[in-house]
Amino acid sequence: MNGHLERVRTASKVAVHLVWDVRPDLPDSTRTARELLMKGPGRVTESDREALHALLRGRVEEAKGGDTATSWEEHLGEVLD
């Protein structure tokens, strides 16, 4: 993503660089998901895909269990937040 952002500048020549940190109070699975998502597409293995799928599936199930959302969009927003 940052590679793409480096090529885009505002009219004032300002560029943006994203830093994705995981809060220390979040579960280890969040750090694992971040590491998997930070891999270049050519470096992601089938095992990585399966692990990421399992992590996201678990978060979806957690969100459903809390049932604070009223729609699938809200559940997804909670999972990806």
Give the mean pLDDT of 4-28: 88
Q: Report how many domains make up the chain.
A: 1
Question: What is the per-residue pLDDT for 50?
Answer: 94
For residue 71, being part of any structural domain is answered with: yes
For residue 17, being part of any structural domain is answered with: no
The string of pLDDT tens digits covering residues 39-50 is 888 899 999 999
**Would the pTM of this model clear 0.85, i.e. be above it?**
no
Question: What is the per-residue pLDDT for 67?
Answer: 59
Residue 18 in contact with residue 37, Cβ under 8 Å?
no
> Is residue 2 pLDDT above 90, yes or no?
no
For residue 40, being part of any structural domain is answered with: yes
Residue range of the domain that includes 44 = 24-80
For residue 22, is it left (φ>0), alpha (ψ between -120 and 50) or beta?
A: beta
Question: What is the per-residue pLDDT for 62?
Answer: 78
Measured in whole angstroms, the distance separating CA 50 from the mean position of its chain's CA atoms is 15
Q: Is 64 helix (H, G, I), strand (E, B) or coil?
A: helix
For residue 12, being part of any structural domain is answered with: no
The first and second tokens of residue 42, run together, are 């050519």
For residue 43, being part of any structural domain is answered with: yes
> Is residue 69 pLDDT above 60, yes or no?
no
For residue 61, being part of any structural domain is answered with: yes
For residue 15, being part of any structural domain is answered with: no
